[in-house]
Amino acid sequence: MKRLVIAVLFSLFLLPLASIVFAAGGAGPDKSMMKGVITKINPESGTIVLQKDATGELKTLIIGEKVKPETIRLNKKVLVMLDHDAGENVVKDISIMFMDMTLKKLLSLLTIGLVGGILSGFIGSGGAFVLTPAMMSLGAPGAVAVASNMCHKFPKAMIGTYKRWKYGQVDLKLAATMATTAIIGVQIGVMIQKYILNKWGNDGSNLYVSAMFVIVLVLVGGYVAYDAYKLSKGGKDKTEQTASTLALAMQKINIPPMMNFKVAKVRISAWVTIPVGLATGMLAATIAVGGFIGVPGMIYVIGASAMVASATELGIAFIMGLWGSIQWGLSGLIDIRLSVLLLATSLIGVQVGALGTTYVKDYVIKITMAATMLIVAVSRGALLPGYLAKFGLVGQISPSTAAFLESLSFWALVAALGTAGFISTGAMVKGMIADRQEAKLNIIAEADRA
């Protein structure tokens, strides 16, 4: 049976591996997206000449109506999106690939890196929901922001996994099993994302991502909040809760291959872990926070504790982040400066968050996760009317309402990060103080005995 499991997992792993070989062989980025340097602008004919990145080929492109004039800059590497609906070689959007790094941007990246790191170490995922939009607001094109975040996520998750594995919280086998299926989920997610971006452009992509965010976060976050509330009221002394009814039912399904997860203390059919892994991957590729599905999935469907699930998620995030980074790297979209600046503080944060879990009870992780998810849902939800209006699905909203919703969205994100940081560090500090007091009492007691 073990051999069968290994064979299934291996073949699942080979599938994406084969695609990387093909991709490296020259598939490159999408046809509607081009990287290169604008060498010439012809205002009379409304065209630009782009020297394409990989081949060096010169291509004359027509400036579309939607292009902002300030983005057309000579001798800067740009990302050009074509508008196939408007005709051949018509440019839809030009974004400067590498923003100029100012002190303000640098400090912003370091700050969000730190808080994102703490959150990651504590609940297994997080930060990306703030990191990606933050990088975009600093001036990185969407695809570069996602790619650079991905390339910062996997080293962070690797360090986090190592730490929490040392604390005995990571189920490596569960992580490997989930990650293998999640990688396939990522592939599907990337395909959907690229399809949407090509077909409906940035507005469509934004609408899709926001809608996904809101639906998933409200449903799952709401349930986690309800569960955490019950636990915090019912049994504060409990260190571990019992598995959910759903998980217990799932564990009774006896379709081979059955898998034993020792750290998670679960025996379950591989066919239960596959959909959870797929969903984690799809979400990770689309909204960069697969953990918001992966962790609750491991808790409520598979039956692991929040402690083990959040730690195991870090392992999954490492493998998936590495995989995703290779994908984005093949298209040449990673701005390594953004990745390493985030890492400067997030590698500290993730270790603080990881060691913090040793001082708190299981339900604190759930509370932190639920609070984060629900506030992020508000943030994304606030943007939905604007995106819907752009698509003509609802009536136009007034500029003042739009401005209000945008600031609500921004402040909700800040609140989400702040709240999560506050709950996790608060619980951690409280735990540390209690632990030190206990240690002191032990010393006094020992001295008395002597």
Partner 1 sequence: MATQQNKTKPYLSTVIFGAISISFYVLLFTNEKLVTETFTRGGIYTLYPVGTAFLFSFIHGAFASNLLSVLGIEAKKK
Q: Is 333 in the site for partner 1 (CB under 8 A)?
A: yes
Q: Is 77 in the site for partner 1 (CB under 8 A)?
A: yes
Which residue's CB is nearer to partner 1, number 354 or number 382? Answer: 354
Least separation in angstroms between CB 158 and partner 1: 6
Q: Is 446 helix (H, G, I), strand (E, B) or coil?
A: helix
- The number of residues that bind partner 1 (CB under 8 A) is 52
Checking DSSP bridges between strand 90-96 and strand 58-63, what pairing results, if any? Answer: parallel
- 52 phi and psi, to 5 degrees? -70, 145
Q: Is 180 in the site for partner 1 (CB under 8 A)?
A: no
Angle between helices 172-234 and 2-22 (to 10 degrees): 110
Which residue's CB is nearer to partner 1, number 5 or number 110? Answer: 110
Query: Tokens 């996994």 appear where?
Result: 161
The candidate with the shortest Cα–Cα distance to 357, out of 114, 113, 120, is 120
Q: Is 358 in the site for partner 1 (CB under 8 A)?
A: yes
Q: Is 98 in the site for partner 1 (CB under 8 A)?
A: yes
Q: Is 158 in the site for partner 1 (CB under 8 A)?
A: yes
Q: Is 329 in the site for partner 1 (CB under 8 A)?
A: yes
Q: Is 169 in the site for partner 1 (CB under 8 A)?
A: no
The candidate with the shortest Cα–Cα distance to 270, out of 250, 290, 285, is 250
Please give the structure tokens belonging to residue 55: 């081949």
Query: Tokens 């990302």 appear where?
Result: 79
Q: Which residue of 10, 167, 391, 422 would you call a contact of partner 1, by CB under 8 A?
A: 167
Q: Is 52 in the site for partner 1 (CB under 8 A)?
A: no
Part of the chain binding partner 1 (CB under 8 A), chosen from 210-218, 328-336, 384-392, 401-409: 328-336
Q: Is 405 in the site for partner 1 (CB under 8 A)?
A: no
Q: Is 260 helix (H, G, I), strand (E, B) or coil?
A: strand
Which residue's CB is nearer to partner 1, number 152 or number 390? Answer: 152
Angle between helices 362-390 and 306-330 (to 10 degrees): 40
Q: Which residue of 24, 191, 215, 219 would you call a contact of partner 1, by CB under 8 A?
A: 24
Angle between helices 270-287 and 306-330 (to 10 degrees): 50
Beta bridge partners of 90: 62
Contact by Cβ (8 Å): 332, 29: yes
Please give the structure tokens belonging to residue 339: 């990745």
The candidate with the shortest Cα–Cα distance to 217, out of 150, 316, 129, is 129
Q: Is 54 in the site for partner 1 (CB under 8 A)?
A: yes
Q: Which residue of 322, 375, 384, 423 would you call a contact of partner 1, by CB under 8 A?
A: 322
Site residues for partner 1 per CB under 8 A:
24, 26, 28-29, 35, 53-54, 77, 97-98, 101, 151-152, 154-156, 158-159, 163, 166-167, 322, 325-326, 329-337, 339-340, 343-344, 347-348, 351-352, 354-355, 358-359, 431-432, 435-436, 439-440, 443
